[in-house]
Each structure stands twice: as C-alpha cells, then as structure tokens.
Structure 1
Amino acid sequence: MRIISLCVEGIHQAAQRGLYDWLAEQDADIICLQDLRAQEYELDGDPFHLDGYFAYFFDSGIKHYNGVAIYTRQQPKALIYGLGFSSGVDMEGRYLQVDYEQISVGSLLAPSAMSENESQEVKIQFFDDLQAHLHKITRKRREFIFCGNWAMAHKREDVQNWQNHDSTSGFLPHEQQWMKQLFTQVGYTDAFRKGNTDKDEYSWWPSGTIGKGDGWRTDYQVISDSLANRVEYATTYKTKHFSSHLPVIVDYDLEVY
C-alpha cells in the first residue's frame, strides 16, 4: 500500500503546477492533502476528482482557509469529520478520517501559530487535546495512520541550522517535548524515519520556496507502533514543486480492505 501526503497551500495553485497529473502517475492507494484553501463546492469536477479514486473533502467553511482531502481507491466503511475536541480547537486546524475494516487513515492539518488566524495558545490546546485523543484510541482494536502537516519538527536533525530556530514556533522546547512523547510514550511511530534515515531530509521551507532558506521536516505519517515493521520505503518527491512542502511518500506492507 502506498500513501502520499502533501500540504498543498492552495489546491487550485497546486493543480495549476501539475499536481493532479503527477498524482495520476503515482499508483498510490491513498492520497492525503492539506491546506486546500478552497470550499468543497469549488472542487466538484476536473481535475479535482481523480479517475479511479473516491474523493472526500472537509473544508473550513471559510473561503481560502485550511481544509483537507483524502483520495482512496478502496471505498471506506466510514468517514469521520473532525476530532470532536470539547474545547473546539480542532476546528482551528482540520481533520478527515477514512475507516476500513482494521485500519484508519487520517489527513491532518494542525494550527501553526504562524498566521494571523492562529495563536500559540490555540496550538498548545490543540496538541494537548490531540495527545489525549491519541492515548484514548490506542485502546481500540484498530491501527491508525495520521498523515499531514503537524506544524512542528521533532529533532534537531529535522531543522536545517536548528540552532537558529530554538525560539521559533514549530521548534520550541515544549513542541519538541510533545513530539518526543508522541513517539516514545503514546504508542506511535514516525513512519518516514522507519523507511528513510537520511539526515538532510526536509519537507517544508518557511521562505516559501523549496531549497531557499532553511528546510524543516514538519510533514509526517504517524503510525500505530504495531505498524512500524510494515514500513517498506519512504521518500520525499523533489523533482517538481507544487507548494513550499514536498510530497511525503511511504510504502507499507499492508492492504486496505
């Protein structure tokens, strides 16, 4: 099973840059997109409905602000829109999940605290609520793959020239600690690092242009620990750019059914 995840920073712009032509050639089983910056009614038609895929969208209700999508070859048994946090901060990001018999795949866009619509307090509340949610669902007889822009980096090796960014949102001490807990205490694995140990792999350039300025790795496929040995291969696609993020591609020894 191949899963591709990409933060597109505007689906119309990414489409104009050839995203859908590229996706049609990738033989992916599931495609997770984030930051659509479009409402669902704007995506009714070509090129936004890929041949051979069921397409699902969750927009923000606010034009040109966040939104996520999932394309899947296999029709899911259920769809989940949002995370249902009692605080309501999950709606400051976006989350869409498809459920199959034994596995669930989610497309996640976290609040970044870098835009005028978001704050560090909202981001902290979001990730505190998310950690509680992830703790809770580990008790289910189900495996999970969460794909998306998590708006933070885990380790120093995930931020180019990290020493210049230790006071930058996305790499603050409490954010690094949150990611450490996710991968050591909560029961989840960084799928990319299971399939690719290269130190200079980044997925996002805050400058807005890939290759200019310092690169960050903020785009993850976070998987249940039970799936860690199912990762076969992981890479980012660098040849053509569709946004300031690179597509994250992971192959799993799994079947969706």
Structure 2
Amino acid sequence: MKIISWNVNGIRAVVKKDFFENINQLNPDILCLQETKAQYNEVEKALAPMTTYHKEYNSADKKGYSGTAILSKMEPTNIKDDMGIAEHDEEGRVQCAEYPNFYLVNVYVPNSGQQLDRLDYRKKWDADFLNYLKDLEKTKPVIVCGDFNVAHKPIDLKNDKSNYNKTAGYTQVEIDGMDNFLTSGFVDTFRHLHPNEVAYTYWSYRFKARERNTGWRIDYFLISNSILDKVKNVNICSDVLGSDHCPIALEIDL
C-alpha cells in the first residue's frame, strides 16, 4: 500500500500545475492533502476528475485558509474530522480515516506565526494532538502524516543556527513537541530508514530557496512502533513541483 502526503498550498491553484499528472504517476492508494485553502464545494469541484477515489474533506470555518482532504481507493470503514476539542476544531486541520487494521490521521499542524505569536497555542495543540493519537492507538495502530510545521533536528533544515528560537518551525517548544511524539512510541519513518540523509520537503517561495535547496523537512509520516516492521519504503518526492512543499510517500504492508 502506498500513501502520499502533500501540503498543496491551495487546491484550486495546484490543480492548474500538473497536479493530476503527478498524482497519476505517483499512483497512491491513499492521498492526504493539507492546506487546501478552500470550502467543501470548492475542493469537491477541484478534485472532481479523481473519480477512482473516495473523497473526504475538512475545511476551515474561515474561507481560503487551512483545510485537509483524504482521497482513498478503498473506502474507509469510518472517517471523523477534528479532535473533538472546540478551540482546535475550527480550522479543518485533522482527519481520521479508519481501516480494518489501522487508523490514518491526516494533519496540518498550526504554524506558530511570523512573530511566534501562536507559539503558546501551538504548545497546547501539540500536547492535545498527542493525547488524541494515543487514544486512537488504544484500539489499533496509527499512521499520522502531514505538515507538522517543525524541523526536528539540525539535519532537517539548511540554516539551523540562524533560525533556532527565532523562526516558527524551529523553536525549542516545537522541537520538544516532536520529541514528545517520538518518546511516546511514534516513529519518524523517514529518519528511521535514512538516519543521515539531508532531504527537505518545504522551500520558501522567496530568495530562490528551492533552486538553492534552502529547505526544511517539516512533513512527516509518523507511525506506531508496533507496525514499524511493516514499512517498506519512505520517499521525499522533491522533483514534484506545484507547491512550496513536495509530496512524501510511505509504502507499507498492512
């Protein structure tokens, strides 16, 4: 089974940039999208050509902001939006698809803000999201994928020293949040398989960042430790354009 996760930075824009050709080539069994930036009917219209997939969308209350989507060739036995916590559930950031042998959670973690003005909120969000995942894990193993908005280690961003505790995505609070996911029994699949590989999933549109490969690895597949032996491969598809993020791919036997 192949699962693709991709922050598309606006579904209505990305579908005009070889999106369908790229997805056909990647051929995922399940596709998780983040930052759709559209309301339900707009996402439905944009993804109408994808007729071989069951489609589920979670849009933010605020128009043109955030939002997630899951497209799956096999129909989930159940799908739920959000964490069930009022302060977190207005931005369309979480979807959970249940399958016979696992839960798949699609997430777009809140950015801490240019002035780090959402850092306190982010700390609470990370803690609540981890509790949500651990509750799911009591029933069956969990795969969680998406944009976590944090580079975990110095290897995960080009300019670690100049960004540390100054830039959203590389503060100690956010690093601690990712540490907590990993010490609680989830595994960063890419780093597990590729401990020393420098690879990024996000490049700013400014300063020719992608051309210069001045990037960040902030998109992840985290999985329950109990299914780690089922992982076949994890790829960062850095050659796929259309967004300021690239897709990431997990191949797993479940």
Percent identity over the alignment is: 26
Partners in 2 of 1:43 and 1:93 — Cα distance?
13
1:109 corresponding residue in structure 2: 108
* Contact kept? 1:235, 1:248, Cα under 8 Å: yes
* Contact kept? 2:201, 2:215, Cα under 8 Å: yes
Q: Per-residue displacement from partner, 1:122-152 (whole Å, max 9, x unpaired)?
A: 21221121122233333x1301111100111
Relative to 1, partners in 2 of residues 1:12 and 1:28: Cα closer, same or farther, differing over 3 Å? Answer: same
One-letter identity of the residue aligned with 2:81: Y
| CA shift for structure 1 position 214 | 2.6
One-letter identity of the residue aligned with 1:122: Y
2:96 corresponding residue in structure 1: 97
TM-score, normalised with respect to structure 1: 0.90
Partners in 2 of 1:51 and 1:198 — Cα distance?
39
| CA shift for structure 1 position 207 | 4.1
* Contact kept? 2:114, 2:168, Cα under 8 Å: no
| CA shift for structure 1 position 174 | 2.0
Q: C-alpha root-mean-square deviation of aligned residues, in Å? A: 2.1
**Number of residue equivalences:** 251
Q: Per-residue displacement from partner, 1:16-41 (whole Å, max 9, x unpaired)?
A: 11112211222211100000001111
| CA shift for structure 1 position 46 | 5.6
2:76 corresponding residue in structure 1: 76
Partners in 2 of 1:223 and 1:46 — Cα distance?
30
Partners in 2 of 1:51 and 1:31 — Cα distance?
13
1:240 corresponding residue in structure 2: 240
SS of residue in 2 equivalent to 1:221: strand
One-letter identity of the residue aligned with 2:5: S
* Contact kept? 1:236, 1:246, Cα under 8 Å: yes
One-letter identity of the residue aligned with 2:40: E
2:186 to 181, 185, 188: 188
| CA shift for structure 1 position 91 | 3.1
1:52 corresponding residue in structure 2: 52
Partners in 2 of 1:93 and 1:159 — Cα distance?
27
One-letter identity of the residue aligned with 2:71: Y
Partners in 1 of 2:121 and 2:49 — Cα distance?
33
Q: Which runs of 5+ in 1 are unaligned?
A: none
Relative to 1, partners in 2 of residues 1:156 and 1:74: Cα closer, same or farther, differing over 3 Å? Answer: same
* Contact kept? 1:151, 1:218, Cα under 8 Å: yes
One-letter identity of the residue aligned with 1:174: V
| CA shift for structure 1 position 90 | 4.2
* Contact kept? 2:202, 2:215, Cα under 8 Å: yes
One-letter identity of the residue aligned with 2:9: E
Partners in 2 of 1:248 and 1:33 — Cα distance?
11
1:141 to 130, 135, 139: 139
Partners in 1 of 2:186 and 2:9 — Cα distance?
27
Partners in 2 of 1:4 and 1:198 — Cα distance?
22
Q: After the TM superposition, which of the residue ranges 89-98 and 220-229 deviates more from structure 2?
A: 89-98
Q: Which runs of 5+ in 2 are unaligned?
A: none
Partners in 1 of 2:42 and 2:157 — Cα distance?
35
The list of structure 1 runs, each at least 4 consecutive aligned residues, that deviate by more than 4 angstroms after superposition, is none
* Contact kept? 1:194, 1:228, Cα under 8 Å: no
| CA shift for structure 1 position 155 | 1.0
SS of residue in 2 equivalent to 1:70: strand
| CA shift for structure 1 position 210 | 2.4
TM-score, normalised with respect to structure 2: 0.91
Q: Per-residue displacement from partner, 1:188-237 (whole Å, max 9, x unpaired)?
A: 01122233334211101134552346311110111111111111111111
2:151 to 150, 153, 160: 153
Relative to 1, partners in 2 of residues 1:134 and 1:98: Cα closer, same or farther, differing over 3 Å? Answer: closer
Partners in 1 of 2:221 and 2:101 — Cα distance?
18
* Contact kept? 2:65, 2:91, Cα under 8 Å: no
Partners in 1 of 2:193 and 2:23 — Cα distance?
21
